Amino acid sequence: MSGRRDATGRFSDRRSPRMVVLSAGDPRTGVLASWILGQQRPGRGGAGLDTIRQLALPHDELLLVLGERDAGTEGAVLAHVPADGLAEVIGPRLLPGIDAGLGERLLERIVAELPGRWVRLMVAYLCPEDGETQAWFAAQRFRATRDLLVMSGEAWAASRPEPPVGWRLRPYSPIWQQTLVRVLVRTSLGAEDYPELDIWGDVGKRLTQLEQARGSGARLWSLVEWEGRVVGGLLLTDRAEAGHCELTYLGLIPPARGRGCGLWLVRHALWQTRSWGRSRLVAGVDTANGPALATYARAGFVEIDRRRVVYRVPEASERRQGPFAD
């Protein structure tokens, strides 16, 4: 292998970027993550990184690969690897003027590292206009699926909507976790919400991850009841740092759809957003999810961003057991 060690003994070589693995609790992670965000070229989105820094749990891994040469760091890529195995890759980002080949090598290096952890699905949300980064992911056998539409609804004038007759919301508490898990599994039946991607995986583990994830904002989860039966869930998160609320998930079981409940829930979410002192409610939607798009549009939401979703499922032989593995 070519390359040489610098005065501190670090190995530097363009073909072998130095690998640094940091935990979410390591104070350097935030600084380095900000550095990555700061190096993005115009038109390349940085959405998600702030969220990850806030939501990463102390036992999650934030994996960082730096491309270093003698002169310093020229590029980097980051992956958030939570205990439930849904890994998100952010970057690669390069300093202006750096050869694109470094981006390709950084991505190759981090992808090779991920299956060594317990990773069940790798995803990245790319700028649709950024063909270069998309090509790096394609070279690493990531597949593109439908774009994610980021929509935002104005909450400043929202009032509390009356529930349709027979419907009510029951505030969630951890004793309801099994009920919520069961109903959320059923809400994915016939849904157009990235059906080919197992985003939720083991729903109980995913909920535990979401439930424990720290952040400075509040969180409000509710079970949706229709004539005394639990038929859906509404998960809302106040992203205080971002200054808006997020509609983390909204879903009804098939017999409960098409009865006006979805629109009521979105309006209720807008009112909750306002009562938390935020003016915007943000939701991410599969561009093929007609019912959800219609519901958000009816509640006054507009498109604010669009992401190209790419993913890769590690082969069984590439997966390792993790603390939450089956």
Distance in angstroms (rounded) separating the CA atoms of residues 284 and 271: 19
Which of 112, 135, 294, 302 is in the footprint of ligand COA by CB under 6 A? 294
The least CB distance from residue 250 to ligand COA, in Å, is 5
Contacts (Cβ under 8 Å, ≥6 apart) of 263: 295, 298, 299
| Partners of residue 93 on adjacent β-strands | 76
Q: Is 49 helix (H, G, I), strand (E, B) or coil?
A: helix
Our CA angle for 200, 205, 209, nearest 5°, is: 90
Our CA angle for 190, 194, 196, nearest 5°, is: 85
> Which one, 217 or 233, has the nearer CB to ligand COA?
233
Name the residue type at position 179: T
The least CB distance from residue 253 to ligand COA, in Å, is 8
Name the residue type at position 229: R
> Which one, 242 or 263, has the nearer CB to ligand COA?
263
> Which one, 39 or 51, has the nearer CB to ligand COA?
51
Region from 93-101, 109-117, 138-146, 259-267 binding ligand COA, contact rule CB under 6 A = 259-267
Residue 101 is a binding residue for ligand COA (CB under 6 A):
no
Which of 67, 91, 251, 314 is in the footprint of ligand COA by CB under 6 A? 251
> Which one, 15 or 298, has the nearer CB to ligand COA?
298
Which of 52, 79, 121, 252 is in the footprint of ligand COA by CB under 6 A? 252
On whether the CB atoms of residues 197 and 120 are closer than 8 A, the answer is no
The least CB distance from residue 200 to ligand COA, in Å, is 11
Of the candidates 319, 269, 305, 76, the one whose C-alpha atom is nearest the C-alpha of residue 158 is 269
Residue 191 is a binding residue for ligand COA (CB under 6 A):
yes
Residue 164 is a binding residue for ligand COA (CB under 6 A):
no
> Which one, 33 or 181, has the nearer CB to ligand COA?
181
On whether the CB atoms of residues 182 and 202 are closer than 8 A, the answer is no
On whether the CB atoms of residues 39 and 78 are closer than 8 A, the answer is no
Name the residue type at position 101: G
The least CB distance from residue 308 to ligand COA, in Å, is 17
> Which one, 67 or 262, has the nearer CB to ligand COA?
262
Residue 151 is a binding residue for ligand COA (CB under 6 A):
no
Distance of CA 181 to the CA centre of its chain: 19
> Which one, 51 or 187, has the nearer CB to ligand COA?
187
Residue 272 is a binding residue for ligand COA (CB under 6 A):
no
Residue 224 is a binding residue for ligand COA (CB under 6 A):
no
What are 33-36's contacts with CB under 8 Å, separation 24+? 33/62, 33/64, 33/78, 35/73, 35/76, 36/64, 36/76, 36/77, 36/78, 36/90, 36/91, 36/93
Region from 38-46, 68-76, 133-141, 293-301 binding ligand COA, contact rule CB under 6 A = 293-301
Which of 179, 259, 318, 325 is in the footprint of ligand COA by CB under 6 A? 259
* Interface residue list for ligand COA (CB under 6 A): 187, 191-193, 250-252, 257-263, 283, 285, 289-292, 294-295, 298
